[in-house]
Each structure stands twice: as C-alpha cells, then as structure tokens.
Structure 1
Amino acid sequence: MTTPNELRLLPWSGPGGKPCYLSTDDPDGYMSRLADNIEAIQLGTAEKLLKMASETLDDEDADPIQLRRLGNALACALKDVLRVAVSREQLVPVGEPHRI
C-alpha cells in the first residue's frame, strides 16, 4: 500500500519511453486497479512465453525466424516483469517480506 507521498511505478511507459508514476493514497482507486490488472496480464504473458520458449528450444528443427521472434517477445516480457518487480518492491510495507 502506498502512502500519499509515495509514487507507484506504473506498468506502462509514457512518451519517449519515460516511466509513468501514480501518486495516490487509494490502492483501490481506478488507476491502481488498472495498473494491477495490467501487471497481471503482463505476468501471465511472460509465463506463457516461458512455456513456449521451453517447447521451442527443445525442437531441434525450430525455424531461425521463429526463434528470433520468440527472443524478441521474451525480451519485451522480461522488461515488463522487471518493471512489475520494481513497482512491487516500492509497494512492500517496511518490515514485510519481499515477494515478487
């Protein structure tokens, strides 16, 4: 839960790829819930891509173009997951265990 003076890193970028932040003391507000939902989607996408990567890398006949596209998708997913991890680290109350 954030306090009024804390900023939450949002799971999307602004113009020029700059980070976006939310300042609110309402974790159940519209923007907080929207950010939570987008983070859940991003984490789910990363999980699906990881499974796909495992299957594709096990395939000795995998097409190089397919591997390149998968690598690009994994890089994007990793960027999203790292942003979620940073955001959630900021949301962990002092003294609470850090769960990512």
Structure 2
Amino acid sequence: MTPHNELRLLPWSGPDGKPCYLSTDDSSSYVSRLANNTEAIQLDLAADLVAHALEALNEERTDPDELRRLTADLTDALKDTLRVATSRGHRLQTPGILGRDGDDGPRLPAAAFG
C-alpha cells in the first residue's frame, strides 16, 4: 500500500459550501468507496447533460427557459467534474515532476518542444 501523504478532496461540499477532505490510507474504506461511486455518478450525469446540450443545440428552436435550465445544469456538472479532476489529479503519483521537496525531475532539451 502506498503511504498516505495527501488529503483526498471529496466530491461533495460541507456546510456553507466548504470543501470536504478525507484522510485515510485505506482506498477501500467505506468513505473512499462512497466517494468513488459519487464521482462516477457525477461524471455519468455530466456526460448525459453534454449529450442533451448537443441535441438542444442541433434543434432549430429551443425554448429559452429550457436553455437557461440546461446552462445551469451544465454549470453544476462542470463544477462537479472539475472537483473530480482536481481530486484525482492530486492522487496521481507522478515521479519526476516538480515536487514539494524541490526535485524538478528530468529535463528535456529545447529540441524536444519543436
């Protein structure tokens, strides 16, 4: 098991909309599994909303109220998706990339960038 060194940003907010974090070394704990399931549901809902938005954009006439609701729903889904991406990004183990200890990893020659 990988040693625990980061708090996990959970896919829900606490009181007053503040972020919630989990500190555990057990990725199969009840709260970890609940967070994984919640993230999966949030991402599925976001995908469904994108499909619905594409359909609405392809229609010649879409009710303005429906577009406003869709925009609000897409905004909420985007916020959830960004939270999932942030949480998962923090949990990635990326050796060789600039870390907190000052290790800036491998260096690429300028030619590698074209």
Question: In 2, Cα distance between the equivalents of 1:44 and 1:51?
Answer: 11
CA deviation after TM superposition for structure 1 residue 89, in Å: 0.4
- By relative contact order (CA 8 Å, sep 6+), the higher-ranking structure is 1
CA contact (8 A) 1:27 1:33 kept: yes
Identity of aligned residues (%): 59
Q: Name the stretch that deviates more: 74-83 or 53-62.
A: 53-62
Structure 1 segments, 4+ long, off by >3 Å, are none
Gaps of 5+ in 2: 97-114
Q: TM-score, normalised by structure 1?
A: 0.90
SS in structure 1 of the partner of residue 51 of structure 2: helix
Equivalences, count: 96
Code of the aligned partner of 2:68: R
Gaps of 5+ in 1: none
Q: What does residue 62 of structure 2 align with?
A: 62
SS in structure 2 of the partner of residue 10 of structure 1: strand
Once the two structures are superposed, the pairs formed by residues 1-100 of structure 1 within 5 Å of their partners are 3-95=3-95
SS in structure 1 of the partner of residue 93 of structure 2: coil
1:57-96 residue CA offsets vs partner (Å, 9 max, x unmatched): 1112100000000000000000000000000001111239
Q: TM-score, normalised by structure 2?
A: 0.80
Larger Rg: 2
Question: In 2, Cα distance between the equivalents of 1:3 and 1:23?
Answer: 12
